[in-house]
């Protein structure tokens, strides 16, 4: 189950990993002493002896998290009912996480358009001073082409908005290997087609043969095909997007052969409200059938029964919204909410074999971020989450499990 703290790494420098249509154009100044590349944007400098402009950016942030999740589990077996409440006393209630991030953005104006390469790396220090390094982004762009390790073209909320500190939300927030092309049509309208690595969206499959347990899907034979249509104007953004995902059944004796094809579709609307600086409201919804990763909640995507040659796909929908405003030039407020409704896969209507659980979950909260001085901010956030799963795991047994509770976050952040 997606823990509340997972949201700490959900939104990774979205503004720097802009899609191809947002790239500025312009000529660098002649080589010589270090000179600013004004046409490329703030912070770009001409690399001496070249026509390439480079920007180095980064951040250091420290997070302190307090959470109080409570678990309730109800198990029914014939006429016996076992009800347990767990306060998770052996789990951490408080925790610290520190992240350092540095990015390199190199841009060159060519006869065929702007050539850009972008590299972003994160260093995390977590509990017990354990550290890890993660490649956050590594891609190149040339005109409308994007190739490499970049944010998926499915959805816009996570990349263009997502003004949370640690609060998780249901929506696709993946960075993946891809190759994509974006075509600009003028007046803010654009279309993107992206081939994305399907290994990141594969789930286990539920086998109704023996043994009754999930097992890995077959190997990847085609990428996920992702499309995105969007309209960007002064008043805001409209977007529609979709994905096709292949589910390959594993090679077992007398197994179901071939593949099933899942899909996900969604839409977003983001409006700039004229009531105050930075005021906005955004809503994004997604429906997925056999492609749960695009809901931001990876589940068992398919069930198969070799004996009766039946298959079934899990399906569900999510809705995520945000409203924010700059109360003063230094103080920003945001309210966020997200809901998930997912029905697990099963090939048998009777309760004699395991089925993937049905999940209902919601998260709601808000944050306030105060800019102390340029580059330094302090933010606080609080949110409440509730995750509930129902399933009939084996023969006549069933269970109902719920995890809910509050989480609070304090973040101190310096950017440059």
Nearest-5° Cα angle at 170, 224 to 176: 35
Is the bond preceding residue 211 a cis peptide, omega within 30 degrees?
yes
Residue 147, Ramachandran bin (φ over 0: left; ψ between -120 and 50: alpha; else beta): beta
For residues 157 and 176, what is the distance between their CA atoms, to the nearest angstrom? Answer: 17
Element (H, E) at 231: strand 224-233
For residues 162 and 336, what is the distance between their CA atoms, to the nearest angstrom? Answer: 9
Domain that holds residue 261: 66-97+144-415
Q: Are 28 and 78 in contact (CB under 8 A)?
A: no
In a domain, 335, yes or no: yes
Q: Are 231 and 325 in contact (CB under 8 A)?
A: no
In a domain, 389, yes or no: yes
Q: Are 167 and 181 in contact (CB under 8 A)?
A: no
For residues 165 and 140, what is the distance between their CA atoms, to the nearest angstrom? Answer: 28
Q: What is the pLDDT of residues 282-295, one digit of tens each?
A: 999 999 999 999 99
Q: Are 296 and 304 in contact (CB under 8 A)?
A: no
Q: Return the pLDDT at 78.
A: 47
pLDDT (average), residues 254-274: 88
For residues 160 and 171, what is the distance between their CA atoms, to the nearest angstrom? Answer: 13
For residues 412 and 371, what is the distance between their CA atoms, to the nearest angstrom? Answer: 10
Q: What is the pLDDT of residues 314-345, one digit of tens each?
A: 999 999 999 999 999 999 999 999 999 999 88
Q: What is the pLDDT of residues 172-183, one digit of tens each?
A: 999 999 999 999
The pTM score is: 0.84
Q: What is the pLDDT of residues 32-51, one digit of tens each?
A: 467 889 888 889 999 888 89
Q: Please enumerate in sequence order all residues whose Cβ is within 8 A of that of 175, keeping only pairs 6 or more positions apart, or say none.
A: 12, 136, 137, 149, 150, 151, 152
pLDDT (average), residues 76-104: 73
Other C-beta atoms closer than 10 Å to the C-beta of 141 total 23
In a domain, 346, yes or no: yes
In a domain, 264, yes or no: yes
Residue 305 has pLDDT above 80, yes or no: no
Q: Return the pLDDT at 10.
A: 34
Q: What secondary structure does DSSP assign to 288-340, as a single string?
A: EES-GGGGT-----EEEETTTTEEEE-EEEEEEEEEEEESSSSEEEEEEEEEE
Residue 185 has pLDDT above 70, yes or no: yes
Structure tokens at 340: 């998930």
pLDDT (average), residues 5-16: 33
Give me Rg for the CA atoms of the chain: 23
The domain spanning residue 255 has which CATH number? Answer: 2.40.160
Q: Return the pLDDT at 224.
A: 97
Token pair 């390959």 in the structure block, residue? 248
In a domain, 276, yes or no: yes
Q: Return the pLDDT at 210.
A: 57
In a domain, 103, yes or no: no
In a domain, 80, yes or no: yes
In a domain, 183, yes or no: yes
For residues 230 and 31, what is the distance between their CA atoms, to the nearest angstrom? Answer: 38
For residues 73 and 82, what is the distance between their CA atoms, to the nearest angstrom? Answer: 8
Give the chain's domain count.
1
By three-state DSSP, how is residue 216 classified? coil
The distance between the two most distant Cα atoms of the chain, rounded to a whole number of Å, is: 84
Residue 94 has pLDDT above 80, yes or no: yes
């Amino acid at each position: 189950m997606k823990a509340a703290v997972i949201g700490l790494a959900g939104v990774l420098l979205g503004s720097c990993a802009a899609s191809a249509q947002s790239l500025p154009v312009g000529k660098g100044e002649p080589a010589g002493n270090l000179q600013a590349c004004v046409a490329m944007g703030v912070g770009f400098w001409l690399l001496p002896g070249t026509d390439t402009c480079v920007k180095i950016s980064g951040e250091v942030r420290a997070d302190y998290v307090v959470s109080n999740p409570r678990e309730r589990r109800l198990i029914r077996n014939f006429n016996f009912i076992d009800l347990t409440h767990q306060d998770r006393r052996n789990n951490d209630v408080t925790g610290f996480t520190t992240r350092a991030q540095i990015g390199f953005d190199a841009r060159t104006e060519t006869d065929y358009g702007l050539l850009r390469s972008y590299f972003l790396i994160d260093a995390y220090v977590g509990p017990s001073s354990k550290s890890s390094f993660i490649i956050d982004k590594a891609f190149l762009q040339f005109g409308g082409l994007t190739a490499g390790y970049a944010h998926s073209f499915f959805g816009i909320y996570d990349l263009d908005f997502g003004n949370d500190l640690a609060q998780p939300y249901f929506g696709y927030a993946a960075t993946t290997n891809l190759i994509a092309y974006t075509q600009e049509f003028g007046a803010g309208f654009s279309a993107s087609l992206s081939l994305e690595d399907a290994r990141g969206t594969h789930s286990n499959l539920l086998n109704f043969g023996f043994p009754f347990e999930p097992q890995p899907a077959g190997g990847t034979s085609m990428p996920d095909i992702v499309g995105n249509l969007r309209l960007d104007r002064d008043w805001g953004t409209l977007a529609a997007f979709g994905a096709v995902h292949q589910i390959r059944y594993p090679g077992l004796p007398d197994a179901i052969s071939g593949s099933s094809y899942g899909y996900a579709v969604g839409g977003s609307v983001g409006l700039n409200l004229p009531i105050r600086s930075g005021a906005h409201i955004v809503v994004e919804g997604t429906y997925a059938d056999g492609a749960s990763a695009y809901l931001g909640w990876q589940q068992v995507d398919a069930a198969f029964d070799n004996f009766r040659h039946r298959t079934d796909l899990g399906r569900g929908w999510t809705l995520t919204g945000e409203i924010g405003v700059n109360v003063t030039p230094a103080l920003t407020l945001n309210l966020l909410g997200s809901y998930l409704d997912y029905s697990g896969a099963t090939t048998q209507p009777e309760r004699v074999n395991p089925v993937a659980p049905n999940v209902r979950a919601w998260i709601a909260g808000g944050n306030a971020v105060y800019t102390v001085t340029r580059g330094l901010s302090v933010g606080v956030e609080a949110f409440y989450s509730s995750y509930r799963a129902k399933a009939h795991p084996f023969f006549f047994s069933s269970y109902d499990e719920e995890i809910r509770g509050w989480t609070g976050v304090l973040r101190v952040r310096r950017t440059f």
